[in-house]
Amino acid sequence: MRWTLWIVLGLFPLVDGHPTLKTNQNSLETADAALNHQSGSLNSVLHLDDTEKAALEPTRVDPAFPMKELNTSHYPATRAARVAQHYLNYHHGSPSKWFMVHDIKKASSEDIPEVGTKYHIQFSVQEQATKEIVGNCTAEILFRQTEEQSAPEVNCTCDDLLKIKTSDADHALYHHIKHQPEPMAGTDIPDSQGNIPKEMEPLWYLGGIGASFIMWQQSNESTLYNMAHVHSVKQLNSENDLLAFEYVVLLHDMVSQEIIHWHMQVAWNPTQGVKVTQCHLLPKGTMKQPSAEKHKI
Amino acid sequence: MKVLLLLGFIATALTAGPSAFDGAKVYRLKPQYEGHVEAIKNLASIIQVDFWSPDNEEMVAAHTNVDIHVSAEQAPLLETLLQQSGMEHEVLIEDLQSAMKNQFDNKQRSTAGYNYEKYNTFEKIEAWTASITAENPNLVSRSQIGSSFEGRPMYLLKLGKRTGSSKPAIFVDCGIHAREWISPAFCQWFVKEAVTTYGSDAEMTRLLDNMDVFVLPVFNVDGYAYTWSKDRMWRKTRSKNSGTTCIGTDPNRNFNAGWCIIGASNKPCSETYCGSKAESEVEVKAVADFIRANRSIIKAYLTVHSYSQLLLFPYSYTTALAAHHSELLAVAEGASNALATLYGTRYTSGPGAVTIYPAAGGSDDWAYDLGVKYSFTFELRDTGRYGFLLPESQIRPTCQETMLAVKYIAKHVQDNLY
């Protein structure tokens, strides 16, 4: 096994880039290939070949690639944990289930020459609707050193993830939306004062889960993304039994302080989970910005 | 005229006593021309004029409001003068004695009807600085430290028991970044707490007796107004940049602290544009000038931002540790712990450069290098769920818990004056 690891790592310089999910700056391939939703298991959903799978195997401590203990309060750990959060949300989130990192317990990193940096994070997450804390998550996050942005590769498991039971809520919501006479739509969620109409909350969550895919794909060691705002959401005609929505979301990167606008299409049903079927970056200045004026007292 | 004035003066002298403020009035004068300015200075040389704003007659200038307190006996004199000169004016307080009496009778000593649990427009906040000052003359005074790029006044409140001599001070600013609305909300809350709990809360009373607290409720007034009218996500100032249509400089990259060496952009279109030079922004210069002028009394500098739930201290422009790192860390951790006692809200403490990101040109680093040892940056709620769009329902709990942290720091400063 150990030999395999050495050979594999030796072969890395020969492996060019990244298969299914090549991300160039402006548009992402459909995540259809990326989503292999199996309840209870959190395998990486990238279609990796053996060499890449090996890179994500649990690391053995090796003096050639020393592990560096990280301060859990400092930003390298924070940024890596955020990537794991985005990954977790995309694979396990729903309009009733949205996770945020609660506490980072332990963090370390290793520089892998010619490859990048791999982080090991132990953390807890809090589900936003139920306020439940899922205590024991471990993640490995590999940031590759590439010329262009490439999505970090994540391996993440959480004990007790299944204790957050939202399938009833999800099914109820699904049926509620399916049986609406008119397609759902909304703008400015939250509004300038932070208000969200009750019926928009699930669409806000869904936007957050869909945006998690984009934020995961766009993350690197110099970013810290959050979804700042849902500019607009519009239900699309569903083929099959998936609900489909078109969103424009604002993402905030804490490091550059820039706010970027993404257009995305999101498909969802309770059994298959969330998929981002299309997305692209909107150029700065395309959208008229939300204004608080209508809320002046 | 002069005889009348003399009689007025004698009458004033004779009426000094326990109800010395019966019928006394506070006027807001609006001099437009040099003639008006002259008239005010003349008046001040003949009768007793208590200047509330600006601090004295030398600082009276056209196009700047002048707030003065005159006794009941002198009010008619003043009215005559105002009619003769045609100077625009208004009465802020009809009867100073009863306004003061109200202050002690009412639990609601803050401006009646003002809503501290909503986000308020710049105009509302500006008016509030006037009324909170007028209603609490023993504790609050207001001055204008400058004007913004677009000509809005920058009002600074000074809180503290008037003792006649200068006291050590804490400087607090809010709203450096326009979209961080919870920040000005906190400054308003802090002032409200000061005026309503002075005398009943031991900590607040001790603080305002022993120290002065300067509060700048909105630093970036143009940007803040812009978030209300045009773009809720605006961050920077609204100053023009040459050679581009991109507007604004990041005020917290514009201070003279390792200016623009790291974590800031030299591109005007960037959200972290450091400006054409340090203190290029008039708002930054106004604050820096004030702090420089008062550096001997300012012992702590607190600057309030959002979001991320962090309590940061120098340095951000370098990863080198500040000389007082251990003490600052201990204070930050103590303050964070105090904050958490109320609702369990978790804050992370640490130097800016490693806790959030390296960034040069920050106000906290600048104040620290100037000699203000206790220099802290707050990043308030939340951690990203709502981000900048923190619901109004969270204003109260956020402000309440943050008060605990600020009081903790203030206590440490008082116990460790230097």
Write down the ipTM of this complex.
0.80
Which chain A residue has the Cα nearest residue B118? A193
CB contact (8 A) between residue B355 and residue A194: no
Q: B116 with B185: CB under 8 angstroms?
A: yes
CB contact (8 A) between residue B270 and residue A258: yes
What mean pLDDT comes out for the span B165-172? 96
- Measured between alpha carbons, how far is A37 from A46 in angstroms, rounded to an integer? 11
- Measured between alpha carbons, how far is B375 from B368 in angstroms, rounded to an integer? 6
* Pairing of β B153-159 and β B212-216: antiparallel
Q: Which residue has the tokens 């990193």?
A: A109
Distances (CA, A) of B158 to B144, B190, B210: 11, 12, 13
The band of B89, judged by pLDDT with boundaries at 50, 70 and 90, is confident
Residues of A in contact with B346 (CB under 8 A): 103
Confidence (pLDDT) at B101: 56
The band of B71, judged by pLDDT with boundaries at 50, 70 and 90, is confident
Q: How many CB atoms lie within 10 A of CB A278?
A: 15
Confidence (pLDDT) at A148: 95
Q: At what angle do helices B182-197 and B395-415 cross, to 10 degrees?
A: 60
* Pairing of β B88-93 and β B140-147: unpaired
pLDDT tens digit string along B3-34?
666 665 566 555 555 566 777 888 878 887 77
Nearest of B220, B217, B196 to residue B208 by alpha carbon: B196
Q: A100 with A125: CB under 8 angstroms?
A: yes
How far away is chain B from the Cα of A124, in angstroms, using its nearest Cα?
13
CB contact (8 A) between residue B356 and residue A75: yes
Q: What angle do CA B24, B28, B31 make, to 5 degrees?
A: 135
What mean pLDDT comes out for the span B72-82? 81
Q: In this model, does residue B99 exceed pLDDT 90?
A: no
Q: A229 with A248: CB under 8 angstroms?
A: no
User: How many Cα atoms within 13 Å fall on the side-chain side of residue A95?
Assistant: 28
Confidence (pLDDT) at B291: 98
* Pairing of β B298-306 and β B348-351: unpaired
Q: In this model, does residue B76 exceed pLDDT 90?
A: no
Q: E-assigned strands of chain A?
A: 27-28, 67-69, 99-112, 116-127, 133-144, 153-158, 185-189, 225-236, 243-253, 259-269, 273-282
Q: Name beta bridge partners: B66.
A: B29
Nearest of A264, A239, A266, A238 to residue A250 by alpha carbon: A264
- Based on its alpha-carbon atoms, the radius of gyration of chain B, rounded to whole angstroms, reads 22
The sheet that has B66-70: what strands, in order across it? Answer: B50-53, B66-70, B25-30, B88-93
- Measured between alpha carbons, how far is A81 from A107 in angstroms, rounded to an integer? 9
Residues of A in contact with B308 (CB under 8 A): 254
Buried b (16+ CB within 10 A) or exposed e, A117-137: bbbbbbbbbbbbbeebebeeb
Structure tokens at A216: 């995961």
Low-confidence ranges of chain A (pLDDT < 70): 1-65, 286-297
**Dihedrals φ, ψ of B311, to 5°?**
-125, 105
Structure tokens at B393: 């329902």
Confidence (pLDDT) at A285: 74
* Pairing of β A99-112 and β A67-69: antiparallel
Confidence (pLDDT) at A1: 52
The answer to whether the peptide bond before residue A190 is cis (omega within 30 degrees of 0) is yes
User: How many Cα atoms within 13 Å fall on the side-chain side of residue B407?
Assistant: 21
**Residues of A contacting chain B (CB within 8 angstroms):** 71, 73-75, 98, 100-101, 103, 128, 190-196, 226-229, 250, 252, 254-259, 289-293, 296-297
Q: In this model, does residue B221 exceed pLDDT 90?
A: yes
**Residues of B contacting chain A (CB within 8 angstroms):** 118-119, 121, 181, 227-235, 250, 270-272, 308, 346, 348-350, 354-357, 383-394
B113's torsion region: left (phi>0), alpha (psi -120 to 50) or beta?
left
> What's the DSSP call for residue A200?
G
Option in A229, A291, A297 nearest B389 (CB): A229
CB contact (8 A) between residue A74 and residue B346: no
Residue with the larger pLDDT of the pair B253 and A47: B253
Name residue B153's amino acid.
P
Looking at chain B, the whole-number percentage of residues with pLDDT higher than 70 is 91
Q: At what angle do helices B182-197 and B122-135 cross, to 10 degrees?
A: 10
Q: Name beta bridge partners: A78.
A: none
Q: Torsion over CA of B306, B307, B313 and B318, rounded to 10 degrees?
A: -110
Q: What pTM was computed for the model?
A: 0.78
Over chain B, what is the mean pLDDT?
A: 91
The sheet that has B153-159: what strands, in order across it? Answer: B140-147, B153-159, B212-216, B169-174, B298-306, B374-380, B310-313, B348-351
What mean pLDDT comes out for the span B380-393? 98
| B279 is a catalytic site residue | no
Q: B37 with B61: CB under 8 angstroms?
A: yes
